[in-house]
């Protein structure tokens, strides 16, 4: 991809097949640090499969995945995380037996354990202060400090989403893949969530790659957007360009001029 630097995540001509089904067909995209990049498309478009290939949960059939200039296509999921790639999932995975603070702290604890698994037992005591400090900072960044001692099971969906995000932030990943992070949130929660994401990029210089069905959120916070349809890339450009793309209207939004997705895009135009 001409002009692309090495400061972020590069997906180059990615193909993922399951038997005779091609789930991702020659997808290329770039998600640099310092930017929120959107990846959108209808259900079954291949967005989560692309994420899984990036994080090592799926093995690509062909193509490359490059992180900060290093080809990680054949690396383990652990090795990718150690190089600065983090991820959240559509279905939240929080430990209800732990407090919010303990859940958030797991982000950094897992990263440290992965870097030197045999040294964690001996070094754990000396690193506890750092882990607590990082967890406190991540909770403050996500606005959930007041929830630190509560259990995730007692929280709203919006609060649980923020706990999951704070855990990913605590893991110190420079590029974060967020899979439908606004799912289950109401309008005010979605707006607040978007503001937090923009702050992560503005204040900490992280890179975010966002899979999202809420087009109003995409239009408001994404600097650049890629669109998939049936596993194939059909558009890339700014949110303003997305708003007037006839290809996106025809293939992604369909012909219904009253569709909520189309209305969201037009509002952002």
What pLDDT tens digit does each residue of the chain (269 aa) get?
A: 544 557 999 999 999 999 889 999 999 999 999 999 999 998 889 999 999 999 999 999 999 999 999 999 999 998 998 899 999 887 888 999 999 999 999 988 877 765 555 454 445 566 788 899 999 999 999 999 999 999 999 999 999 999 999 999 998 799 999 999 988 889 999 999 999 999 999 999 999 999 998 999 999 999 999 999 999 999 999 999 998 898 888 865 554 555 555 455 554 43
Residue pair 228/216 in contact (Cβ under 8 Å)? The answer is: no
> pLDDT value at position 199?
94
**Shortest CA distance to 38 belongs to which of 49, 29, 26?**
29
Q: What ranges do the domains of the chain cover?
A: 1-84+173-269, 96-172
* Sign of the CA dihedral with 52 first, then 57, 63, and 69 last: positive
Helix, strand, or coil (residue 224): strand
> pLDDT value at position 121?
46
> pLDDT value at position 267?
44
Neighbours of 172 (CB within 10 A): 16
**CA separation for the pair 33, 175 (Å, rounded):** 7
> pLDDT value at position 112?
73
Helix, strand, or coil (residue 230): coil
157-170 vs 100-115: helix axis angle to the nearest 10? 30
In this prediction the pTM is: 0.86
> pLDDT value at position 207?
97
**Shortest CA distance to 268 belongs to which of 40, 44, 27?**
40
Burial class (CB in 10 A: 0-12, 13-18, 19+), 202: exposed
Q: CATH assignment of 1-84+173-269, given 3.40.630.30, 3.40.50.300, 1.20.1090.10, 3.50.50.60?
A: 3.40.50.300
H/E stretch holding 134: helix 120-141
**CA separation for the pair 222, 224 (Å, rounded):** 6
Residue pair 96/157 in contact (Cβ under 8 Å)? The answer is: no
């Amino acid at each position: 991809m001409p002009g692309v630097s090495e400061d972020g995540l590069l997906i180059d001509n990615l193909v993922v097949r399951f038997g005779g089904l091609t789930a991702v067909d020659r997808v290329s995209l770039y998600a640099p640090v310092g930017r929120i990049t959107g990846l959108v498309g209808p259900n079954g478009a291949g967005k989560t499969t692309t994420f899984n290939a990036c994080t090592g949960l799926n093995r690509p059939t062909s193509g490359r995945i490059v992180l900060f200039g290093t080809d990680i296509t054949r690396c383990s999921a652990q090795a990718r995380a150690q190089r600065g790639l983090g991820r959240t999932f559509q279905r939240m995975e929080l430990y209800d037996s732990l407090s919010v603070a303990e859940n958030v702290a797991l982000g950094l604890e897992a990263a440290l354990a992965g870097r030197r698994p045999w040294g964690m037992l001996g070094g754990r005591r000396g690193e506890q202060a750092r882990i607590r400090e990082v967890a406190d900072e991540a909770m403050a960044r996500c606005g959930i400090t007041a929830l630190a001692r509560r259990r995730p099971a007692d929280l709203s969906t919006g609060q649980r989403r923020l706990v999951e995000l704070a855990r990913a932030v605590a893991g110190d990943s420079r590029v974060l893949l967020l899979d439908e992070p606004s799912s289950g949130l109401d309008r005010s929660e979605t707006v607040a969530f978007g503001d937090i994401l923009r702050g992560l990029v503005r204040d900490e210089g992280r890179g975010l790659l966002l899979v999202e069905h809420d087009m109003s959120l995409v239009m408001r916070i994404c600097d650049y957007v890629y669109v998939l349809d049936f596993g194939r890339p059909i558009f890339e450009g700014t949110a303003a360009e997305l708003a007037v793309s006839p290809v996106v209207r025809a293939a992604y939004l369909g012909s219904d001029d009253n569709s909520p997705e189309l209305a969201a895009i037009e509002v952002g135009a």
